[in-house]
Structure 1
Amino acid sequence: MLSQKALRYVAWSSTTGVAVLALAAVTLWQLDRAFPPPLPAKPIVSAEVLDRDGQLLRTFATPDGYWRLATSPDQVDRQFVDMLVAYEDKRFWDHSGVDLLALGRAALQFAGNGRIVSGGSTLSMQLARLIEPRESRSVWAKLRQMARAIQIERRLSKTEILERYLTLAPYGGNLEGVRAASLAYFGKEPKRLTVSEAALLVALPQLPEKRRPDRNLRIAQAARDRVLDRMVSANLLGEREAQRAALEAVPEVRRALPALAAHAANAAVAKAATGEPPRLTIRKSAQQGLEAVARDAARKLGPKLSVAMVLADARTGEILGEVGSADFFDSSRSGWIDMTKVLRSPGSTLKPFIYGLAFEQGMIAQETMIEDRPADFSGYRPKNFDMGYQGDVTIRQALQLSLNVPAVRVLDAVGPARLTARFRQAGINPALPLNEPPGLAIGLGGVGISLRDLVQLYAGLANGGKVHPLRDGAETTRPADFTATILDGQANWQIADILSGVKPPQGALQRGIAYKTGTSYGYRDAWSVGFDGRYVLGVWVGRADASAIPGLSGYVSAAPILFEGFERSGLASVALPSRPPGIFLPKRDQLPVTLARFGSDAANAIGPAEPAPKIVFPPDGARVDLGAATASATPLVLKLQDGRAPFRWLANGKPLTGRDRTRTATWLPDGAGYSTLTVIDAAGRAASVKVFVE
């Protein structure tokens, strides 16, 4: 039995021990409050821009010049995480910041070998060193690191600690974090790594400069192999699997980090709010293909030339690829200028819309003859690109050959104001000369328009005449969600059918697209815009300073890029729509007199004394109930005023009767829906109305 004195000593010792422990705990708590770890809420990381599927399009260096990409454990191969923990800190999930067993093992190894064999640092201690670099390798520095690790463990969960380590771990040079290293050394995200790749990424942070594979290949390979051996000892890998991994080559070069869609990415980052990385509508694979095409084409075309491209989904208006210049970083080509948004002369690329309006009004058919001869339009004398003339040609030939005089003849009849009004209706405002009304010159490029706007117009041709505003996701606000009509469905099909017959450039694969080229005055801009049943691609070639380039032309310079761009975009070709019901495609000898030839010099020279014809019933936009859905549908009486007899009536481009000198006619529709009624008088003047039949 203990004496009374001994019992009092034990009681005193226990009380004193508790007091000392309590005092130590209070002291540590006070020190923790007084000297908290320099632990920011989130590390400063590189800005990122993602594509429509969440893939990395472009990343930017941090303000201090590092490539440091935010990385969470679920973005990294699970096998890499297991190997990292097994190699660096096998009791990571159990300790509270300091692994006493590992420290004891390290001390014994040092005593037995006279050198450091293993450091005993936990991942939490390594994170402490990353956020608060130590100035020396003293015992005090190690103790301070241990204290910081305990503080970090009190503030962050294990997953958060791992996330910070994966983001901040050094990998040589200005690479920090496993994502930046994986992209730089393997050219891919670390989500799916080979065993060899995972082992190399585990090995590098211990001596990142000494083990950099792009500078010290053999040292890096040896470090990787040591990790593989350790994984065999830890039963994470079988011997054969480790041997196979050791045979895999270690990368010898450091790749550039993704820098796709530079112009759009810059705009997205400038406008992005804090939080999630901005996501564009661009598709990474298509963007890569288009940028490669633009770079290769610019090199072939010559110095100082640039190439811009816009690829869009006509059904949604989403931009899938956007190349603002041949090379963003090439100052000799003014690569920093986004040429998709610069106003330039579009050359002949607006001609399809001129003919489309004429089709709408029933003024022409594909086989209508038109003159390609020198002409004078009140002092405006257009000439063809090759300075030659074809004589009499069909409307189809005139558009496919991009003849200038016929296009101006048709625009003169349609009216330049109507053409520009239709563009504005589709959300495009072409730049006209200051304080001047639209003139005939706009048909040949006498107007300013951007590549992006031109692609929006052609997206309407690819979408049955319906236009959606283009968007790439970089906009601060989504463009107005509207659907406008650039051409009615039947006229739109006629234009698409004609353009689908344009001969592809030499050496290009026939892809089943409809396309048009254009060359601006003075050989400053070359254009080519094409579409299939869903996608539209526009190409611009020229110099950012608008200098003339002898020999530049849309067909020779831009069209080959268009076809190659479609090919390398990776998008599956979508067939152009087949001829819809009700489309009238007569042969030349089947045309009515009023459609056989577009106008005549004699009629134009004399000039009709009567006013142009005007349909007075039904009025434009009327809804008429004829019982079209029943078997007892009643015909509609058509009435007109003015004009010179005889008259030719057409419904949706199809003649109703022969030539008639009366000013009334009847029409029995095929069914319900919208229809266009047109009358053409003897002087070739036309009037049209659109009605909805019920």
Structure 2
Amino acid sequence: MTVWGASSVALALPLPTYPEVRAAHRPSDLILLDRHGEPIQTIRVDPTARRQPWVALSDFSPALRTSIVLAEDHRFHAHTGVDWAGLARSTWANLSGSGATQGASTITMQLAGLVDGDLVRPAGGRSVAGKLGQIAAARQIEARWSKAQILEAYLNRVPMRGELVGVPAASQVLLGKLPSGLDAAEAAILAALVRGPNAPREVVVRRACALLTVQRIDCATLGPAAARALGAGATARAPQPAPPNDAPHYARQALRAWQALPAPRPATWRTTLDAPIQRLAVHTLRRQLAELSLRHVEDGAVVVLDNATGEVIAWVGSSGAALSDAAAVDMALARRQPGSTLKPFVYAMAFERRLITPASLLEDAPTQLMAGGGVYAPQNYDRDFHGWVSARVALASSLNIPAVRLGVMLTPDDLFERLNAWGLGLSHSGGFHGAALALGSAETTLAALTNAYRGLANGGRLGPGRQVGSAAAAWLVGDILSDNAARAVTFGLDSPLVTRGFAAVKTGTSKDLRDNWCVGWTDRYTVGVWVGNAGGEPMQAVSGTTGAAPVWRALVQALHERDGRPSRAPPLPPGLVRQLVAGDARPARDEFFIAGTEQAEIRRGEHARGGADLRGIASPKPGALYALDPDMPPKVQRIVFQGEPGTWWLDGRRIGQGARLAWAPWPGRHQLELRLPGGRVDSVRFEVRGATPRDAVSSVPRQVPPQ
């Protein structure tokens, strides 16, 4: 190919236009915006170079524009892409060997190499054909671009010191200033760096001084600028002003969504976060943890969700490096024991199955339950027992023993399955956790738990087509968790759980005070807060009301103050009725019931529709283990089932009825159900081990098919 053929190829391939070059510019940092367009977080997405967002020519200081033109192309405004006189002088000097090798590339010719990779200067210098191609490209740019567009693109694309690309990046990193604020000395330093980005300090200063001399400015002004821009470690200095850093943990999730977009990806990405609420959550959490610093607690997390959409309004994954030794860990996604925050799901399931009503009387008394190979004796947080209480008081005041008994009635396996249907992602199995599952022995995350509470706020619905529990049961739980009088047994009448408008809220504390939670919802938002230590160390005397609850209340009140109205209680859903209830546990009051379970009077020891108490199956205990003796006659080996009068079912088959039934044991794991009047069902699992007794097969009672 001839020399002129090479130049004609360059002319035949159109270069990108100014709008195309500007649109293709990608900063090295992704800027995350909140829902209103306010910058809230930056993320480095290009580790190979550091570029700032595109800067308009009018936002470069006049001193900078002057220095760049003087240093690189003093005839820039006069030529049409090529400085023919300068090119001739450069060619003669280079060919004659009369002096140092000179270049004659104009700003436009340099820009051609910056926007077209095929025109980049080779390491060994350009050939004649390459130079002609560059000239042709420069002429093409000048014919289609304005001088202002050319200079603007050049300033944004020219390589600078180290990883810096573009004058805006160099200005902020090396000098800590926006390019609009550069003075003559600072502009001269940057212009000198364009000629030799990685030149030694003395060379850069000498060239900068020459530029100032041409402008009749004293070179003594270079000192401070040179010290900042050319000092050791200058390129590693953080950009100033500091980028927004309000949501570093949520940014990881946003980055994954941004990376899934087809190229070219946008330089900014709008999230659902609300910047004022996000910053308030960060500030409130840190302030609360600072106050708790003497109680050996340093970590926390916050999640705020929009009830209707599930959008994340705020997400704080850590208390920050100033307080935490694990600031990089997103504790909103860390698996921890949720404690009593699982109780609302236990009660919702019991209401839904009509095992109890909010008015049912539950006994809060010392209890021992079979658990694995031993006995489980749950206690309340205050180490006290409260006797017979209504289910409303038991849930609102977070009494442990009634919740454990309900969990046993529901069976750990069924409860485990339901909790995972709420999206909690519990591991192992219901049998593994046993009776302690109702008290939050399994691990989940704050994000999952907060979203499950959002499901309760939405009438048992997690999303379109995901109706996990009944709307009536979810409403009953919300009504109880918003009842300040019912929670007074444990929390008193004036606690951080009290808000100006409607709010259903529950606290939780895990074993040995390792985790502290407060999760609840209003008519528009669900807020979850966790406080503890990332390493799992126990806190000292930190309860739900002293740890997470103050943060929760501050956010709930701020959200509704911003909305200009308090939260309103949800309307009564279909299937619920109001009934005046009298009894010997508390004064007569209006109570809500799932239709068909309502009662006008409830007293201890009585069995009424809806299940006034929890006697159910008295024996065997959940998880009981029996051993067969092969040396004893089968007729004397019987397991006696005892409980309320009802129909007994074993492993899905009806085996008899009444309050007492003797059963010839058979090895294996079994599920026993007692089906009671009013639709109540009590269920336990137990196991029979040992050799099969002689003639045992003939001694097993005939099983009646299911009816």
* TM-score, length basis structure 1: 0.60
Letter in 2 for 1:489: A
C-alpha separation in 2, matches of 1:291 and 1:145: 57
Task: Kindly provide the CA deviation profile for residues 355-411 of structure 1, in whole angstroms up to 9, marking residues without a partner as x.
Answer: 111211233332322211111223321100111112222212111111101111222
Query: Secondary structure in 1 aligned to 2:337?
Result: coil
Per-residue deviation, 1:91: 12
Match of 2:122 in 1: none
C-alpha contact (below 8 Å) 2:357/2:612 kept by paired residues: no
Letter in 2 for 1:598: A
C-alpha separation in 2, matches of 1:126 and 1:289: 48
Letter in 1 for 2:504: A
Q: Cα 1:441–1:62, aligned 2, differ >3 Å: closer, same or farther?
A: closer
C-alpha separation in 2, matches of 1:380 and 1:449: 22
Query: Secondary structure in 1 aligned to 2:477?
Result: helix
Match of 1:461 in 2: 456
Matched, 1:256 2:242: yes
Q: Cα 1:331–1:299, aligned 2, differ >3 Å: closer, same or farther?
A: closer
Greater strand percent: which structure?
Answer: 2
Match of 1:324 in 2: 317
Equivalent residue runs for 1:217-616 within 5 Å: 254-269=240-255, 272-273=259-260, 274-277=263-266, 279=269, 281-285=271-275, 286-302=277-293, 305-327=298-320, 329=321, 332-378=324-370, 379-432=375-428, 436-437=431-432, 439-468=434-463, 483-502=465-484, 505-506=495-496, 510-567=500-557, 572=563, 574-589=567-582, 591-592=599-600, 593=602, 594=608, 598-599=612-613, 604=618, 607-608=643-644, 610-611=646-647
Per-residue deviation, 1:529: 0.8
Q: Cα 1:455–1:158, aligned 2, differ >3 Å: closer, same or farther?
A: farther
Letter in 1 for 2:478: A
Per-residue deviation, 1:279: 3.9
Match of 1:68 in 2: 51
C-alpha separation in 2, matches of 1:64 and 1:267: 19
Task: Kindly provide the CA deviation profile for residues 431-459 of structure 1, in whole angstroms up to 9, marking residues without a partner as x.
Answer: 236x9455221111111111111112111
Per-residue deviation, 1:528: 1.0
Q: Cα 1:209–1:518, aligned 2, differ >3 Å: closer, same or farther?
A: farther
C-alpha separation in 2, matches of 1:55 and 1:298: 27
Per-residue deviation, 1:497: 1.1
Match of 1:164 in 2: 153
C-alpha separation in 2, matches of 1:564 and 1:149: 65
Per-residue deviation, 1:418: 2.3
Between the two proteins, the alignment pairs up a number of residues equal to 510
Per-residue deviation, 1:59: 2.5
Letter in 2 for 1:447: A
C-alpha separation in 1, matches of 2:170 and 2:557: 32
Task: Kindly provide the CA deviation profile for residues 162-221 of structure 1, in whole angstroms up to 9, marking residues without a partner as x.
Answer: 663464589999987688799999x9xxxxxxxx999537989724779xxxxxxxxxxx
Query: Secondary structure in 2 aligned to 1:522?
Result: helix
C-alpha contact (below 8 Å) 1:518/1:555 kept by paired residues: no
Query: Secondary structure in 2 aligned to 1:611?
Result: strand
C-alpha separation in 1, matches of 2:280 and 2:387: 43
Per-residue deviation, 1:561: 1.3
C-alpha separation in 1, matches of 2:166 and 2:544: 47
Equivalent residue runs for 1:90-129 within 5 Å: 96-97=80-81, 124=108
C-alpha separation in 2, matches of 1:498 and 1:205: 67
Letter in 2 for 1:494: L
Query: Secondary structure in 2 aligned to 1:555?
Result: coil
Q: Cα 1:459–1:506, aligned 2, differ >3 Å: closer, same or farther?
A: closer
* TM-score, length basis structure 2: 0.59
C-alpha separation in 2, matches of 1:85 and 1:147: 29
C-alpha separation in 2, matches of 1:304 and 1:99: 69
Q: Show structure 2 runs of 5+ residues with no match.
A: 85-104, 118-129, 192-238, 485-492, 583-587, 589-598, 603-607, 620-641, 660-674, 684-707
Letter in 1 for 2:290: R
C-alpha separation in 2, matches of 1:167 and 1:504: 60
Letter in 1 for 2:571: S
What's the RMSD between the two structures over aligned residues? 5.4
Q: Cα 1:146–1:26, aligned 2, differ >3 Å: closer, same or farther?
A: closer
Q: Cα 1:145–1:319, aligned 2, differ >3 Å: closer, same or farther?
A: farther
C-alpha separation in 1, matches of 2:283 and 2:83: 52
Letter in 1 for 2:288: A
Per-residue deviation, 1:56: 3.9
Match of 1:136 in 2: none
C-alpha contact (below 8 Å) 2:6/2:132 kept by paired residues: no
Q: Show structure 1 runs of 5+ residues with no match.
A: 1-22, 101-120, 133-143, 188-195, 211-252, 469-481, 615-639, 646-678, 688-694
Per-residue deviation, 1:487: 1.9
Match of 1:50 in 2: 32
C-alpha separation in 2, matches of 1:60 and 1:320: 19
C-alpha contact (below 8 Å) 1:420/1:430 kept by paired residues: yes
Letter in 1 for 2:481: L
C-alpha separation in 2, matches of 1:178 and 1:509: 53
Task: Kindly provide the CA deviation profile for residues 326-379 of structure 1, in whole angstroms up to 9, marking residues without a partner as x.
Answer: 12x559421111112221111000100111112112333323222111112233
Match of 2:700 in 1: none
Match of 1:227 in 2: none
Per-residue deviation, 1:541: 1.2
C-alpha contact (below 8 Å) 1:500/1:513 kept by paired residues: yes
Letter in 1 for 2:51: R
Q: Cα 1:63–1:382, aligned 2, differ >3 Å: closer, same or farther?
A: same
Letter in 1 for 2:437: I
Task: Kindly provide the CA deviation profile for residues 480-502 of structure 1, in whole angstroms up to 9, marking residues without a partner as x.
Answer: xx532232111111111111224
Per-residue deviation, 1:557: 0.4
